[in-house]
Amino acid sequence: MTDLAGRVALVTGGGRGIGRAIAESFAAAGAAVVVNYRRDADAAEATAERCRAAGGDALVWQADVTDAAAVAAMARGVEGEFGRLDVLVCNAFAPYLFDAEARTPFRNLAWDDYQRQIDGSVRAAFTVCQAFMPLLERQPGGSIVTVASDLVARPAVPYHDYITAKAGLIGFTRALAADLGPLGLRANCIAPGLVWPTEASRVTREDLREAITAATPLRRLAAPADVAGPALFLASDLSAFVTGQTIFVDGGLVMAGGAG
């Protein structure tokens, strides 16, 4: 099993869905996990309990990851509690519902719609990475993992604002990898397909889920645990020579180029 014993990982948006699955997988590998959340304290504490049950230490921390002051306080708290950070997972994003029928077409979008998603993805990653850089730099081999979407490569449903923000996050991650490589730090991105069930995908209609499944070579949708596996790989020494990459976790859907 992948070993993260003695390491500390922060998962933003760790209260549920993909974030919860990643946090739990890290804890099972021996890591101490900081579960960040914005609003739902009960969900975050439930994630922490699952991390402890899996064998890892866990700390719950409330912070809006777009708020520099709140994130700076979180960084000080993590430093005080653990004195280090080895893995940073930027999973949080602005609330979004994958509802193809109710999506706003481009002609009706305002720039504020784009800005909300860009802030939730790129600004959040920027704010968290900057605040935690002093801790990450203390140990060689640190890893930053961001979470984007396979929609950037295959916008079958044109969620304009969301896709634009996630494409920006991939660019941010690649630039970060180039900048931080000489410091011994890595940065990679995971781009999942539709993950079911999550808060964002709960409104995706059944016929669309079935069409995506039929077009996917592995003939199913991703579950949160499917994203946790690659995150664990990217957090561990198994990926010690991997940086600047985007791993598509969608059962081969982008490769197949099927309609959704």
Please report the pLDDT score of residue 253 as a whole number.
93
**Which residues of the chain are under the pLDDT cut of 50?**
1, 258-260
pTM equals 0.94
Known active-site residue 159: no
Nearest to 98 by CA among 224, 242, 195, 204: 204
Report whether 134 contacts 232 (CB < 8 A). Answer: no
Please report the pLDDT score of residue 126 as a whole number.
98
Identify the DSSP state of 158.
Answer: -
Find the catalytic residue in 37, 96, 159, 162: 162
Task: Summarize pLDDT for 52-93 with one digit per residue, the tens.
Answer: 999 999 999 999 999 999 999 999 999 999 999 999 999 999
Please report the pLDDT score of residue 73 as a whole number.
98
Please report the pLDDT score of residue 47 as a whole number.
98
Buried (b) or exposed (e) across 119-128, using 16+ Cβ within 10 A? bbbbbbbbbb
Element (H, E) at 49: helix 41-54
Report whether 236 contacts 138 (CB < 8 A). Answer: no
Residue with tokens 């890595």: 186
Task: Summarize pLDDT for 10-42 with one digit per residue, the tens.
Answer: 999 999 999 999 999 999 999 999 999 999 999
Please report the pLDDT score of residue 100 as a whole number.
84
CA distance 63 to 20: 16
- Counted residue by residue, the chain has a size of 260
Query: Residue 73 CA to chain centroid, in angstroms?
Result: 21
Please report the pLDDT score of residue 259 as a whole number.
42
Residue with tokens 């916008």: 155
Fold classification of 8-256 (topology level): Rossmann fold (3.40.50)
Report whether 178 contacts 212 (CB < 8 A). Answer: no
